[in-house]
Structure formats: structure tokens, C-alpha cells
Structure 1
Amino acid sequence: MIIEGLALDLAATVLSPDELNEDPAPEWLQRAQELIDDMAAQPGIEVQSIAAEVGVHPVSLARRYRRHYRQSPAAAIRQARADRAAGMMARGSDLASLAADAGYADQSHMTRDFTSIYGLTPARYRALFR
């Protein structure tokens, strides 16, 4: 997902230098944001599937999403997963099952994403609530 997000960001930068004054956010972009929030816990969710769901090309989604939300759609998916995991950790869930419930491939994947976003390992974060 990280590589896909970076590739789409690069393509959007190269392919659309003259479209920087587009405003406001179209309805499909707002729908994409809602889908990311709703579907982030699904394993294997990709920017391509969000783009297909709202009926736009993945590069268009990446370009407009970054412009309006100041992050790539892939980063938004990672953030939504980490936020969901943080909420579950506060309630004391087991880390391995929590990772699966939050949409991660495994606990180590969750630990990497969570640590890069929050600056704490999931275990240390969970210890703050005990």
C-alpha cells in the first residue's frame, strides 16, 4: 500500500502541474473520505478499490485527495487503521486479535504503522490506559 500510494502521488505530481487551483472538493472526493473511514479495517483495501468505488482513476483520486486533505489516500487508510487500533487498545484488547480486527495483516504490521504514526509501540500505548 505504501508503494502504491507513493507511485500514485508521483504520477499525480507529474501529470497535473496546471490543475492546482481546483476547488471546492467534489462530492466523489468526500465520498472517498467516507469510504476510507468505513473500510480501513478491511484487510487488503487499496487506493484502487476506493477510486473504483467512487468512479475515478486512482491518479485523480490521489491528486485531489492530497490537495484537499493534505495527505495521500494510502496515508489516510493507515491513519484510520491506527486510530481504530488505538481505540481498541484503550479498551484492553489482545494485540494479535486487535491487529486483525483493525485490518492489519499481522501484529508486526500494526506495530510498524502504529509506531510511525503515534511514536509509541502498541504495548506502550496500551500501558498508558492501565
Structure 2
Amino acid sequence: MAGFRARSQELVDLGVVPYPAVTLVLDLGDGPLAVGDGTGRPQGGGLVLGLASSGVRGSGRGIECLQLRLSPVLAHAVLGGGAARAGGEVLPLEGLWGREAGRIEERLRAAGEWEERFALVAQALARRAAAGRAVDPEVAHAWHRLAASRGTARVERIAEEVGWSRKRLWSRFRDQLGLGPKRAAQLIRFDHAAHLLAAGRSAAGVAAQSGYADQSHLHREVLAFTGATPSAVAAAPWLAVDHVAWADPGYLSGR
């Protein structure tokens, strides 16, 4: 979890770089935070960005929000399978949590300190995770293997490890996490490359370090995920705060 606050009343308009997690955004500011995925009108309030979300932009003035990144394995239980249904879209949290979404937002607005807000959300997540339905252990294993290998583990080998056919693993993975294992691997690999680019590494070096065939291969995947070039992604404001906001395994508040 991380807390974000833009104290200035100037308009903030940021493109969101895709990330291998299901993202929840809880709007706590005085002015509305509008988030859109290019498929319709921008939405506000509590929102869920699916694992395959791309083309997402957030804008507003005086922004204050709490953002969560959930492993899709956890998100399946916490969101009642809604993360998989979201796919690449932005969905209202109320549609998945009902009235509880509004109640949590009210409690978060009443809490003045970030630490109290984080604790409230952690309690809500724990309750829903305990009551929710977990993904298949084989699907969880596949996701963790892909994440640990930064997207380079072969799906065929993972299927052998869990004792499933490649077709069965592909089907169950997609049904429960919202995208196939190959696409998940591409997203994880892209994320690793994007952060290396943001750290100032050359595109050629990043391609070699991240498992791409060559620099052109990297360029094509970055363009497919973001609609931008590697140099533009390297300068993305959204990536610039990652090392601050997400540096701790638990949470830090970003300013």
C-alpha cells in the first residue's frame, strides 16, 4: 500500500504504466480523481485496475488517494474473482464489494494519518481474503514461478511441475487470474525492463538483461504495453515514484 497526495491545485494528468498486479485506488481527496482506460468515460471513487490494464490515465486537482497493489492470486479471493473479470478495464470497487466499499471510504476519510488508513485497509483485506475462494494451488504456483523468474520460466515446464497439461494450466490460469500465463510472463518481463529503463539503463542493455531477443524486441513489447517508446517510458512520472512508494515490503507513504 502507498498513500499519494498532490498538494498543488494544478491539474495532475498521468499515464499509468502497466504493472503485474491488480491495483486498487481509493480516492480520498476533496477534488475528484478521474481514472479512465480509454474504453469509456473516466470513473471516480474506489476503482479496480485489472491485471492487464493498459492505456490508463489518472487526472485531478488536489489529489489524495490510497493505492494498493495486490498479487492476482490474493486479488482473486479479495475481489471474489472480480479481478479476472476486470481484464484490462477499470471497474468500480462498489460493483465488487457492494456497500462495504462506501463504508471503507468513509472510515478512511475520517482517519487523519496514513498509518491508520493502512491498518484499516489491511483489516478489510484480511477479512475478505479469509472469506474468499482461493485460486487453485497449481495456478498459484504457476504465478509465483513466473514472478520469481521475471517472466522467463517456460509454461510447459511449470505445467509438468504441477502435473497438469499445458492446456489445462492455460485455461485455469486465464479463468482465475484474467489473462493467460504467456501474457502474464510478458507483463512481468516488461515491468522488470521498464524499471531498468527508469533507472537510466540503456535500451540495449535492458533488452539483454531482461531476456529479450534484441533491442527491437524490447521496443515492440514496450510499445504494445504502453503505446510509447522505451525512452518515453523511462521518463514516465508514474515509474519515478516507485522506488519511494513501494520500497518497503509492507508500505511507505509517497509524497
TM-score interval, normalised by the smaller of the two chains: 0.7 to 0.9
Cα RMSD of the aligned pairs, angstroms, is 1.9
Q: Percent identity?
A: 31
Q: If the length of structure 2 is used for normalisation, what is the TM-score?
A: 0.39
How do 1:33-72 and structure 2 match up within 5 A?
33-42=143-152, 45-72=153-180
Matches of 2:201 and 2:160, distance apart in 1: 33
Pick the structure with more helix per residue.
1
Counterpart amino acid of 1:114?
V
1:82 to 178, 185, 190: 190
Q: Does the Cα contact within 8 Å between 1:40 and 1:103 map onto a contact in 2?
A: no
Matches of 2:190 and 2:164, distance apart in 1: 26
Matches of 1:27 and 1:35, distance apart in 2: 12
| Displacement of 1:50 | 2.1
The corresponding residue for 1:123 is: 231
The corresponding residue for 1:6 is: none
Pick the structure with more strand per residue.
2
Matches of 2:161 and 2:218, distance apart in 1: 26
The corresponding residue for 1:3 is: none
- Higher RCO, 1 or 2 (CA under 8 Å, sep at least 6)? 1
Q: Deviations over 1:10-38 (max 9, x none)?
A: xxxxxxxxxxxxx7421111010001111
Moved more, 115-124 or 77-86: 115-124
The list of structure 1 runs, each at least 4 consecutive aligned residues, that deviate by more than 2 angstroms after superposition, is: 127-130
When Rg is computed on C-alpha atoms for both structures, the one with the higher figure is 2
| Displacement of 1:114 | 1.2
Which consecutive residues of structure 1, in runs of 5 or more, have no partner in the other structure? 1-22
Matches of 1:66 and 1:88, distance apart in 2: 28
What is the aligned residue count? 106
Q: Does the Cα contact within 8 Å between 2:204 and 2:214 map onto a contact in 1?
A: yes
Which consecutive residues of structure 2, in runs of 5 or more, have no partner in the other structure? 1-132, 241-255
The corresponding residue for 1:94 is: 202
Matches of 2:157 and 2:138, distance apart in 1: 14
1:28 and 2:138 are equivalent in the alignment? yes
| Displacement of 1:55 | 2.4
Q: Does the Cα contact within 8 Å between 1:41 and 1:101 map onto a contact in 2?
A: no
